[in-house]
Homo-oligomer: A and B are copies of this chain.
Amino acid sequence: MYPKNKGKVTRPALLTEVVRKMVSLKGGADPFVCVAEELALVEHSLNRAIRSQECTLTEIASHLINGGGKRIRPMVTLLAFKVFGGKRIEDAVDIATAIELIHTATLLHDDIIDGAETRRGKESAYKKYGLKNTLVAGDFLFIKGFEFAGKFDEIVVQWTADACAHLTEGEILQGHFSRNADVAVEDYLKIVERKTASLFQTGARVGTYLAGAGPSVVEEMAQYGLNFGIAFQIIDDILDVVGHRELLGKPTGIDLRDGNPSIPIILALKEGHPAVWEAFQYPFAAEEKIQEAIRVIGQSSAIEKARSLSQSYAERALQSAKRLPPSRYQKGLENLVQLIVEREF
């Protein structure tokens, strides 16, 4: 069922290389290397999952699945499984596959919602294949994700379904605060918990559960996933302001153009910069207005405050990781937090 040659993990290896240039890892345990074999199995499993009689579906799914995702969700899931000595690796691969499929489904639908032109440095599926095909391909990936999760017992299905319901709730909640300058940091955290962190949380929770750990440990790891996911999203938001287009694979300022209440925007709004207020509030703002607002946010203390907020969630995730039984996987979970908050893409 799985490929014999497990050694070849081109993309994650490449990613590690880039990340290594930025971050010097404490303790030497590279989370990518820790679970490289398992990640290769997930890659294989993802590509099997998206095979369909209708080649259009496979093509669109492959466009995104093989389009340079960082596979951070599968990685958290696999590390959570391995750190508790999980043995039936096919279980961890199945749930990691489910979670990445569901994540990819939401990306396809998000691109429709945002009218996104690019994704991961390439033309978005929405731009390339149109609304109809992209919508149906997103449904297809949701279904395939559930097929993988549905192999497990009722509690795993329930956790996965809850995470997915949270994704949709987060999307709706974000819509309520679209171009709404009254949005508070608390609103943002509610959105991010649902829209981003819930899948990390579920990956960590299910990985731990499938390894056979007890309920309190499962919940500790769920906390790791939740806090990790929030820290991760805050960095994503920061990079949308101060990141490099080439490293990100997309232009900066997307949140401002789309009217999405990202944390740097919210914090800059609180500081009372009229340029930000104007660019965020009004759709179809002129490009120079957007650029000016991005410059203002980048030079305000919003970025520093956002980094500090990300760091506080990263610290909580680290505290959870430090309480784990020592192993290279435990070190991997610690280092993954560091990689994520210090990343530049």
User: A133-159 vs B: 1/0 string, CB under 8 Å?
Assistant: 101111110111011011100100110
Contact partner of A143 among B56, B136, B165, CB < 8 A? B165
**Chain B's nearest CB lies how many Å from the CB of A248?**
24
- Flag the segment in A78-86, A169-177, A334-342 that touches B: A169-177
Closest Cβ of chain B to A221, distance in Å, is 22
Partner of A136, one of B147, B160, B171: B171
Q: Is A53 among interface residues, defined by CB-CB distance under 8 A?
A: yes
Chain B residue nearest to A175 in the complex (CB): B132
CB pair A172–B56 under 8 Å, yes or no, is yes
In angstroms, Cα B176 to Cα A62, docked, is 19
> How far in angstroms is the closest Cβ of chain B from A186?
15
Interface SS, A side: helix
A22: chain B residues within 8 A (beta carbon): none
The count of chain A contact residues (Cβ–Cβ below 8 Å) is 42
**In the bound complex, CA of A231 to CA of B109 (Å):** 33
Would B161 and A57 count as touching, CB distance under 8 A? no
Q: How far is the CA of A239 from the CA of B70 in the complex (A)?
A: 50
A175 with B133, Cβ < 8 A, contacts A151-B157, A161-B147 known: yes
- Contact: B150 with A135, CB < 8 Å? no
CB distance from A191 to the nearest CB of B (A): 11
The residue in A146, A151, A157, A158 that gathers the most chain B C-beta atoms within 10 A of its C-beta is A146
Judged by a CB distance under 8 angstroms, whether A321 is at the interface is no
Q: A136-B109, A142-B139, A144-B161 are in contact. Are A54 and B173 (CB under 8 A)?
A: yes
Bound together, the chains give a CA A147 to CA B155 distance in angstroms of: 10
**A161–B146 CB distance below 8 A:** yes
Given the known interface contacts A144-B161, A158-B147, A165-B140, the answer about A57 and B112 at a Cβ–Cβ threshold of 8 Å is: no
Taking CB atoms, residues of chain B closer than 8 Å to A146 are: 143, 146, 150, 157, 161
Chain B residues positioned under 8 Å from A135 (CB to CB): 109, 112-113, 135
**A52 beta carbon closer than 8 Å to chain B:** yes
- Name, among A53, A105, A135, A139, the residue most crowded by chain B CB atoms within 10 Å (CB to CB): A139
Answer yes or no: A131 CB below 8 A from chain B CBs. Answer: yes
Would you call A241 an interface residue if the criterion is a C-beta within 8 Å of the partner chain's C-beta atoms? no
**Can you list 16 A-B pairs, Cβ within 8 angstroms, ordered by A?**
A52-B169, A57-B169, A109-B139, A112-B135, A139-B139, A139-B142, A142-B142, A142-B143, A143-B161, A143-B168, A146-B157, A147-B157, A150-B150, A150-B157, A150-B161, A151-B157
Binding site for B on A (CB under 8 A): 52-54, 56-57, 105-106, 109, 112-113, 131-133, 135-140, 142-144, 146-147, 149-151, 154, 157-158, 160-161, 164-165, 167-169, 171-173, 175-176
